[in-house]
A and B are shown apart, each in its own frame.
Chain A
Amino acid sequence: MTHRPEPAAAMSAAAVPRLRLPAQVHGWLLLLPAAVLLVTFTYYPTVATIIDSFFSTPKGRRAAVFVGADNYQAMLGDPVFWRALGNNIVYAASVIPLTIALSLAMAVWVNGKIAGRPFLRLSFFTPTVLPMIAVANIWLFFYAPGYGLLDQMLGVFGIPTHNWLGDQSTALICLIAVAVWKDAGFFMIFYLAALQQMSPQLAEAASIEGAGRWYFFRRVTFPLLMPTTLFVLINAIINSFRLIDHIVVMTQGGPDNTTALLLFYIYEVGFKFWDTAYAATLTVVLLALLALLALGQFLILDRRIHYQ
């Protein structure tokens, strides 16, 4: 991502000085349309979110007034906020490792000489092209108490029926399962791409040396896949804060907020209770989390460039 001065451009600019200005103008003109939209719908709202978090919610004719850190104080005392944040951390800490481990296993299988490979690949990848909103409706049936597929299957083993989404101890786990199912096949693709670029001579050399498959995977494949793992990791983290479609369909954050994630709570506060100032305050927390992540990514990317 380093920008070395490009010799050809420098030369032509030096040879024909009058081209300098047009290059400037052309560059900015080309960028302008995208820049306008980015400013309007990404940078302005980011800044406005932060500003609004220090004001009250305008109500009727009463305009917003500056309230200092009141919204933040209210947030710190809001049990639902802590609940949503805690849920989101549990959710992310479960979904991310599970998704990455499964997607890696899928990629290794699909890349090898396993029987029925086309079916496996199709089956793993299909959830990616289905809308979350649609599959959440199907999963809703799986979890339905009594006649749902899960209860029917467990019933065969004599396990009593259970209200999976209505029980505080199982609801979040059910949503975690849906998220893992939805994204694993998507991330598999990136691992698969990386695996296909790996030299087959590595595996040959290892097998001549008598290295086992697991040893080879641990010592050669996995380290070589590290850049892909980082890419997948970052996307998985983003998704765990960004995607709440299944919550809207399956639980609406319930029972008793056990499945409310941060963005879902923002949506609820902003568009059900219409408390936009407080929603902005909550958004600041989410933005801060994402900014931390962005910072981490830049640092990691930096390291990656160094050792390449």
Chain B
Amino acid sequence: MSVLQISGRGHAMLETAGAWLLALIWILPLAYALWAAIHPSAYSAHFVLNAPLTLENFARAWNAAPFARYFLNTFLLVTMILAAQLVLCTFAAYAFARFTFTGRDIAFILVLLQLMIMPDVLIVENYRTMSALGIVDTIPAIGLPYMASAFGIFLLRQTFKSVPRELDEAARVEGAGPLTVLLKVYVPLAKPVYIAYGLVSVSYHWNNFLWPLIVTNSVGTRPLTVGLQIFASTDQGIDWSVITAATLMTSAPLLVAFLLFQRQFVQSFMRAGIR
């Protein structure tokens, strides 16, 4: 028995060590980026404890490319997409959850199809559509394919369906129309889901790259991800300090938000995943 206990404890220690090793590997890229960004270029691949600290890399990165403009573009893009998603998905989810209309079930299955066939895959045809509409190289062109989000519709529909019918009917008895009921009853009750969905959407579109890369070709429209890639691949050669500084800069808003609201972030992602 005692032998078993000892081996059990040894096993637990081994497991803890494994978990820590994995965690260290997982944080290593970020830790390295931080190291390279706050030390002079000479120390970017040379790890000594007495390396001097500097913020110069951030200044150099900031001045080497129009990052302020890229930040603005990403901010506009993410805001535009989220605002449109919230409105469109709320309406559609409300229709699916609380209205009986011809073709509802087929329409819902078609919506679910978008969970599989995402805009990320339809780049060739969507580019053609954007050309035909004459909006290539505009911020709305980056956002449009993502605005009617099947994921958002699905998530909100589940939430709306769980709202007790009595609340809905009570409001209607008092003379409220469908839109008033939606705004006064359903939306307030779904607030945690909205927050969860919002965080997932913002981090997805802040980080999205391929479609924006394809559909933009000027400083005035490029989001941060595309700007960073152009900066890192053409301008800098292999100055890791400046590249990591730029990398940290572009990820900073999400990263800081995540570190500050870690619990909410994790819970939001959880909530969005349980369906």
Contacts and interface: CB of A to CB of B under 8 A. Distances in A.
B5 to A, nearest CB: 12
Interface string A20-54: 00011011101101111110111111101100100
B22 A34 contact: no
A148 interface: yes
Contacts of B153: 34
B29 interface: yes
Contacts of A163: none
B92 A30 contact: yes
The 7 closest A-B pairs by CB, nearest first: A27-B101, A27-B99, A45-B125, A30-B95, A37-B148, A131-B207, A193-B270
B19 A133 contact: no
A296 B123 CA distance: 24
B266 A293 contact: no
Contacts of B165: 6, 8
A45 B126 contact: yes
Contacts of A186: 269
Q: Give the interface centre of A130, A149, A280 by most chain B CB atoms within 10 Å.
A: A130
A80 interface: no
Interface stretch (A66-74, A165-173, A264-272): A264-272
A109 B258 contact: no
A142 B238 CA distance: 13
A122 interface: yes
A291 B116 contact: yes
Contact of B125 (A13, A49, A263): A49
Interface string B86-97: 011101101110
B121 A290 contact: yes
A242 B258 contact: no
Query: For chain B, which range describes its interface: under 10, 10 to 19, 20 to 34, or 35 or more residues?
Result: 35 or more
B225 interface: yes
Contact of B26 (A127, A149, A266): A127
B13 to A, nearest CB: 10
Interface string A173-209: 0000000010011100110111000000000000000
A42 B122 contact: yes
A233 interface: no
Contacts of A6: 100, 165
Query: For chain A, which range describes its interface: under 10, 10 to 19, 20 to 34, or 35 or more residues?
Result: 35 or more
B214 A114 contact: no
Contact of B209 (A44, A131, A141): A131
A55 interface: no
Interface stretch (A81-89, A90-98, A218-226, A243-251): A243-251
Interface string B28-63: 111011001000000011000000000000000000
Interface string A274-296: 00100110010011001101100
Contact of B94 (A30, A106, A123): A30
Nearest to B152: A34
Nearest to B177: A26
A164 interface: no
A34 B23 contact: no
A45 B145 CA distance: 11
20 contacts: A27-B100, A31-B95, A34-B89, A37-B88, A37-B144, A119-B23, A121-B266, A123-B24, A126-B30, A127-B26, A128-B269, A131-B250, A137-B247, A141-B32, A189-B270, A242-B118, A244-B210, A248-B210, A266-B124, A270-B127
